[in-house]
């Protein structure tokens, strides 16, 4: 009876997210920095969604998937950053058990969805470069919707399994989470029972949603590199590379940080560094994505000027 009471204590009182409490002088500076980055994330990703929808010239598979990526980033950051800002400002740094559950399910589902979506986008770039004459036939709207739906459904499916298994672990009254977010690895680390099965399941899921998509992306870019090298003109090579470089940069930034977090034992001593890695892919990466795509994309910048011109009644040409 005593064990059950201790096991359920966290569900009654919630958790304490320690976050960056070891660096009290850093917290106020982090609050301001993260707030600015969050506002930039909202502005940048909302702009991509609106411009891609309003300009008919951008009604293409590439911008269809890019809109989904921007929507993902908006939802992902909004599931994490508001609570993080509250905890950075409020010395109590608490989160309710229900709030932790919602954050766990939502952020995990969106993160897994993005892993699959980036692989889908690499296939789109492969078709655009390697099969340009058949691009509109192969990447027809129905297929694009199916691929996007597959990404979303796979993300929801994995979080239903992983998050549910994690929440069934007894925490035995442990309330202090040495992190700023309720994530699967940090909650596994908090459990007072043997977590070998959960760690094995997390590792298998990490292989499916990290290693497999990355391998698919590498194969796609292997074919893309072959096709680009066969183009004789320098301008042709630059144009082909330009269609892929933005996506490739996003892939490197996203996977480079998230693989560090998930492809190691949940109770690894290096998890102390995990919060700083999580901060990067939670706050910085969603802000960088719209910048990477817009600053290197003349087509999108032209569409943005056109949309702004129509709204403001100004001719930017």
Q: Taking the domains of the chain in order of start, what are their residue ranges?
A: 2-312
pTM: 0.86
Tell me how many helices (H) and strands (E) the chain has: 13, 3
Burial class (CB in 10 A: 0-12, 13-18, 19+), 46: middle
Q: What is the pLDDT of residue 268?
A: 54
Q: Is it the case that residue 264 has pLDDT exceeding 70?
A: no
d(CA 234, CA 240) in angstroms, rounded, equals 10
Position 68 pLDDT exceeds 90: yes
Domain 2-312, CATH number (from 1.10.10.10, 1.10.730.10, 3.20.20.60, 1.20.1070.10)? 1.20.1070.10
How far, in Å, CA of 18 to CA of 176, rounded? 7
So what's the pLDDT on residue 7? 46
pLDDT tens, residue by residue, 116-164: 999 999 999 999 888 888 898 999 999 999 999 999 999 999 999 989 9
**Residue 244 pLDDT > 70, yes or no?**
yes
The helix or strand, by DSSP H or E, that contains position 119, with its residue range, turns out to be helix 97-130
Pseudo-torsion of CA 180, 152, 37, 262, nearest 10°? 40
Whole-angstrom Cα distance, residue 132 to residue 102?
43
pLDDT at 4 over 50: no
Which residues have C-beta within 8 Å of that of residue 247, sequence separation ≥ 6? 118, 121, 122, 125
* Non-local CB neighbours of 129 within 8 Å, separated by 6+ positions: 224, 227, 228, 240, 243, 244
Between CA 204 and CA 202 the distance in angstroms is 6
């Amino acid at each position: 009876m005593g064990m059950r009471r201790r096991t359920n204590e966290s569900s009654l009182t919630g958790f304490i997210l320690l976050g960056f409490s070891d660096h009290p002088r850093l917290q106020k500076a982090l609050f301001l920095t993260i707030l600015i980055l969050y506002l930039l994330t909202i502005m940048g990703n909302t702009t991509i969604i609106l411009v891609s929808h309003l300009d008919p010239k951008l009604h293409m598979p590439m911008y269809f998937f890019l809109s989904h990526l921007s929507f993902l980033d908006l939802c992902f950051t909004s599931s994490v950053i508001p609570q993080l800002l509250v905890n950075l400002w409020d010395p109590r740094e608490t989160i309710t058990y229900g709030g932790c559950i919602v954050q766990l399910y939502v952020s995990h589902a969106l993160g897994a969805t993005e892993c699959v979506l980036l692989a889908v986008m690499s296939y789109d770039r492969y078709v655009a470069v390697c099969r340009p004459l058949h691009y509109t036939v192969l990447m027809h709207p129905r297929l694009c919707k199916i691929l996007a739906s597959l990404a979303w459904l796979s993300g929801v499916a994995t979080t239903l399994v992983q998050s549910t298994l994690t929440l069934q672990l007894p925490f035995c009254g442990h309330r202090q989470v040495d992190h700023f977010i309720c994530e699967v690895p940090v909650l596994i680390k908090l459990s007072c029972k043997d977590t070998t099965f959960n760690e094995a399941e997390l590792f298998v899921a990490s292989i499916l949603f990290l290693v497999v998509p990355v391998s698919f992306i590498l194969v796609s870019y292997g074919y893309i590199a072959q096709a680009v090298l066969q183009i004789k003109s320098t301008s042709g090579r630059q144009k082909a590379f330009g269609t892929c470089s933005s996506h490739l940069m996003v892939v490197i930034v996203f996977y480079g940080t998230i693989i560090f977090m998930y492809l190691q034992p949940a109770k690894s001593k290096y998890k102390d560094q995990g919060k700083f890695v999580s901060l990067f892919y939670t706050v910085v990466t969603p802000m960088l994505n719209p910048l990477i795509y817009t600053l290197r994309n003349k087509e999108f910048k032209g569409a943005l000027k056109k949309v702004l011109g129509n709204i403001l009644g100004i001719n930017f040409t």
